[in-house]
Amino acid sequence: MARSTKARLRRSVSPETPVVDGDPGSDAVDQAVEQWQRERPDLDPSAMTIFGRIARVFALSRREQARVHEPFGLTHAAFDLLANLRRSGRPHRKTASALAKSSMISTGGVTFRMDGLEDSGLIRRIRDSKDRRVVTAELTDHGMKTIDEAIERHLELFQDMLAGLSTTEQQQLATLLTKLESSIADHLQRQTPAE
Protein backbone atom coordinates (compact mmCIF):
# COMPACT_ATOMS: atom_id res chain seq x y z
CA MET A 1 0.00 0.00 0.00
CA ALA A 2 1.45 3.39 -0.96
CA ARG A 3 2.50 5.68 1.89
CA SER A 4 -0.05 8.39 0.93
CA THR A 5 -2.82 5.77 0.79
CA LYS A 6 -1.86 4.50 4.27
CA ALA A 7 -1.84 8.06 5.59
CA ARG A 8 -5.25 8.76 4.05
CA LEU A 9 -6.58 5.50 5.51
CA ARG A 10 -5.35 6.48 8.98
CA ARG A 11 -7.06 9.88 8.67
CA SER A 12 -10.29 8.32 7.43
CA VAL A 13 -10.67 5.75 10.20
CA SER A 14 -13.56 6.86 12.36
CA PRO A 15 -13.45 7.13 16.17
CA GLU A 16 -15.58 3.96 16.30
CA THR A 17 -12.71 2.00 14.71
CA PRO A 18 -9.56 3.41 16.34
CA VAL A 19 -6.13 2.72 14.91
CA VAL A 20 -3.89 0.82 17.34
CA ASP A 21 -0.19 1.69 17.49
CA GLY A 22 -0.43 3.62 14.21
CA ASP A 23 -1.29 0.45 12.29
CA PRO A 24 -4.61 0.68 10.41
CA GLY A 25 -4.73 -3.13 10.31
CA SER A 26 -4.64 -3.46 14.10
CA ASP A 27 -7.85 -1.87 15.24
CA ALA A 28 -11.11 -2.28 17.09
CA VAL A 29 -11.94 -5.45 15.13
CA ASP A 30 -8.78 -7.20 16.33
CA GLN A 31 -9.26 -5.82 19.82
CA ALA A 32 -12.86 -7.03 20.06
CA VAL A 33 -11.92 -10.56 18.98
CA GLU A 34 -8.97 -10.70 21.39
CA GLN A 35 -11.10 -9.38 24.26
CA TRP A 36 -13.86 -11.95 23.63
CA GLN A 37 -11.27 -14.73 23.43
CA ARG A 38 -9.88 -13.60 26.77
CA GLU A 39 -13.21 -13.01 28.52
CA ARG A 40 -15.19 -15.90 27.02
CA PRO A 41 -12.76 -18.60 25.89
CA ASP A 42 -15.75 -20.93 25.52
CA LEU A 43 -16.97 -18.85 22.53
CA ASP A 44 -15.55 -18.68 19.01
CA PRO A 45 -15.57 -14.99 17.99
CA SER A 46 -13.60 -15.60 14.76
CA ALA A 47 -16.62 -14.67 12.59
CA MET A 48 -16.35 -11.16 14.06
CA THR A 49 -13.07 -10.80 12.21
CA ILE A 50 -14.81 -11.38 8.88
CA PHE A 51 -17.94 -9.33 9.48
CA GLY A 52 -16.02 -6.60 11.30
CA ARG A 53 -13.64 -6.27 8.34
CA ILE A 54 -16.54 -6.21 5.87
CA ALA A 55 -18.24 -3.44 7.86
CA ARG A 56 -15.01 -1.48 8.12
CA VAL A 57 -14.15 -1.88 4.42
CA PHE A 58 -17.68 -0.77 3.52
CA ALA A 59 -17.49 2.33 5.74
CA LEU A 60 -14.05 3.37 4.52
CA SER A 61 -14.80 2.77 0.84
CA ARG A 62 -18.17 4.51 1.10
CA ARG A 63 -16.45 7.57 2.57
CA GLU A 64 -13.94 7.62 -0.29
CA GLN A 65 -16.73 7.22 -2.86
CA ALA A 66 -18.53 10.22 -1.37
CA ARG A 67 -15.32 12.24 -1.72
CA VAL A 68 -15.04 11.25 -5.42
CA HIS A 69 -18.73 11.89 -6.18
CA GLU A 70 -18.89 15.26 -4.41
CA PRO A 71 -17.22 17.36 -7.16
CA PHE A 72 -19.97 16.17 -9.52
CA GLY A 73 -22.65 17.25 -7.05
CA LEU A 74 -23.73 13.63 -6.60
CA THR A 75 -24.66 11.69 -3.52
CA HIS A 76 -24.04 7.95 -3.58
CA ALA A 77 -27.76 7.39 -4.24
CA ALA A 78 -27.77 9.85 -7.17
CA PHE A 79 -24.62 8.29 -8.62
CA ASP A 80 -26.21 4.84 -8.36
CA LEU A 81 -29.36 5.90 -10.23
CA LEU A 82 -27.41 7.67 -13.01
CA ALA A 83 -25.07 4.68 -13.35
CA ASN A 84 -28.08 2.38 -13.53
CA LEU A 85 -29.52 4.39 -16.43
CA ARG A 86 -26.15 4.72 -18.20
CA ARG A 87 -25.26 1.04 -18.13
CA SER A 88 -28.74 0.04 -19.36
CA GLY A 89 -27.77 1.11 -22.90
CA ARG A 90 -29.63 3.25 -25.38
CA PRO A 91 -31.98 5.04 -24.95
CA HIS A 92 -30.70 5.18 -21.31
CA ARG A 93 -34.24 5.08 -20.03
CA LYS A 94 -36.00 2.97 -17.37
CA THR A 95 -39.28 3.04 -15.52
CA ALA A 96 -39.22 3.92 -11.83
CA SER A 97 -40.24 0.34 -10.99
CA ALA A 98 -37.41 -1.12 -13.12
CA LEU A 99 -34.94 1.25 -11.43
CA ALA A 100 -36.25 0.21 -8.02
CA LYS A 101 -35.87 -3.47 -8.86
CA SER A 102 -32.31 -3.16 -10.21
CA SER A 103 -31.29 -0.83 -7.35
CA MET A 104 -32.99 -2.93 -4.65
CA ILE A 105 -34.84 0.08 -3.21
CA SER A 106 -38.48 1.09 -3.06
CA THR A 107 -40.20 2.96 -5.88
CA GLY A 108 -40.72 5.76 -3.36
CA GLY A 109 -36.95 5.92 -2.87
CA VAL A 110 -36.44 6.07 -6.63
CA THR A 111 -39.05 8.83 -6.95
CA PHE A 112 -37.25 10.87 -4.28
CA ARG A 113 -33.91 10.45 -6.08
CA MET A 114 -35.48 11.31 -9.42
CA ASP A 115 -36.79 14.60 -7.99
CA GLY A 116 -33.29 15.86 -7.21
CA LEU A 117 -31.76 14.58 -10.44
CA GLU A 118 -34.50 16.18 -12.51
CA ASP A 119 -34.06 19.49 -10.65
CA SER A 120 -30.34 19.31 -11.50
CA GLY A 121 -31.06 18.67 -15.18
CA LEU A 122 -29.42 15.21 -15.10
CA ILE A 123 -32.56 13.26 -16.01
CA ARG A 124 -35.95 13.98 -17.52
CA ARG A 125 -39.19 12.29 -16.57
CA ILE A 126 -41.45 10.91 -19.25
CA ARG A 127 -45.02 9.87 -18.46
CA ASP A 128 -46.50 6.94 -20.36
CA SER A 129 -49.14 8.21 -22.80
CA LYS A 130 -51.37 5.18 -22.13
CA ASP A 131 -50.91 4.98 -18.36
CA ARG A 132 -50.00 8.26 -16.63
CA ARG A 133 -49.02 6.36 -13.48
CA VAL A 134 -46.01 4.88 -15.29
CA VAL A 135 -43.04 7.24 -15.08
CA THR A 136 -39.80 6.72 -16.99
CA ALA A 137 -36.46 8.36 -16.17
CA GLU A 138 -34.13 9.20 -19.05
CA LEU A 139 -30.60 10.58 -18.97
CA THR A 140 -30.22 14.08 -20.39
CA ASP A 141 -27.08 15.06 -22.31
CA HIS A 142 -25.87 16.77 -19.13
CA GLY A 143 -26.62 13.60 -17.14
CA MET A 144 -24.73 11.46 -19.66
CA LYS A 145 -21.67 13.73 -19.52
CA THR A 146 -21.78 13.82 -15.72
CA ILE A 147 -22.06 10.06 -15.20
CA ASP A 148 -19.43 9.31 -17.86
CA GLU A 149 -16.92 11.54 -16.03
CA ALA A 150 -17.99 10.34 -12.58
CA ILE A 151 -17.74 6.63 -13.44
CA GLU A 152 -14.17 7.13 -14.65
CA ARG A 153 -13.18 8.66 -11.29
CA HIS A 154 -15.22 6.02 -9.45
CA LEU A 155 -13.44 3.10 -11.14
CA GLU A 156 -10.03 4.77 -10.72
CA LEU A 157 -10.80 4.98 -7.00
CA PHE A 158 -11.72 1.30 -6.85
CA GLN A 159 -8.47 0.34 -8.64
CA ASP A 160 -6.47 2.53 -6.26
CA MET A 161 -8.15 1.02 -3.21
CA LEU A 162 -7.40 -2.50 -4.54
CA ALA A 163 -3.75 -1.71 -5.31
CA GLY A 164 -2.59 -3.73 -2.29
CA LEU A 165 -4.02 -6.93 -3.79
CA SER A 166 -2.70 -8.83 -6.79
CA THR A 167 -5.05 -9.63 -9.67
CA THR A 168 -5.25 -13.22 -8.42
CA GLU A 169 -6.05 -12.06 -4.88
CA GLN A 170 -8.76 -9.74 -6.21
CA GLN A 171 -10.34 -12.62 -8.12
CA GLN A 172 -10.13 -14.89 -5.07
CA LEU A 173 -11.69 -12.23 -2.87
CA ALA A 174 -14.52 -11.65 -5.36
CA THR A 175 -15.18 -15.39 -5.48
CA LEU A 176 -15.19 -15.69 -1.68
CA LEU A 177 -17.48 -12.68 -1.26
CA THR A 178 -19.90 -14.15 -3.80
CA LYS A 179 -19.84 -17.41 -1.86
CA LEU A 180 -20.42 -15.53 1.42
CA GLU A 181 -23.34 -13.61 -0.11
CA SER A 182 -24.88 -16.90 -1.19
CA SER A 183 -24.37 -18.36 2.28
CA ILE A 184 -26.11 -15.35 3.85
CA ALA A 185 -28.98 -15.61 1.34
CA ASP A 186 -29.36 -19.30 2.28
CA HIS A 187 -29.41 -18.32 5.97
CA LEU A 188 -32.11 -15.72 5.33
CA GLN A 189 -34.19 -18.24 3.40
CA ARG A 190 -33.94 -20.71 6.29
CA GLN A 191 -35.15 -17.97 8.66
CA THR A 192 -38.24 -17.18 6.57
CA PRO A 193 -41.22 -19.20 7.81
CA ALA A 194 -42.83 -21.42 5.20
CA GLU A 195 -46.24 -20.21 4.05
**Domain enclosing residue 52, as ranges:** 13-72
Q: Is residue 193 part of a domain?
A: no
Domain boundary pick from 115, 132, 150: 150
The verdict on 39 and 59 lying in the same domain is yes
Dump pLDDT digits (tens) for 134-186: 889 999 999 999 999 999 999 999 999 999 999 999 999 999 999 999 999 99
Dihedral, CA atoms, 69, 71, 77, 80, nearest 10 degrees? Answer: -50
Domain total of the chain: 2
Dump pLDDT digits (tens) for 51-84: 999 999 999 999 999 999 999 999 999 999 999 9
Q: How far apart are CA 65 and CA 79, in angstroms?
A: 10
Dump pLDDT digits (tens) for 89-101: 999 999 888 998 8
The verdict on 63 and 130 lying in the same domain is no
Q: Is residue 5 part of a domain?
A: no
Residue 170 contacts by C-beta under 8 Å, 6 or more apart in sequence?
A: 162
Top-confidence residue, 27 or 20? 27
pLDDT at 195: 59
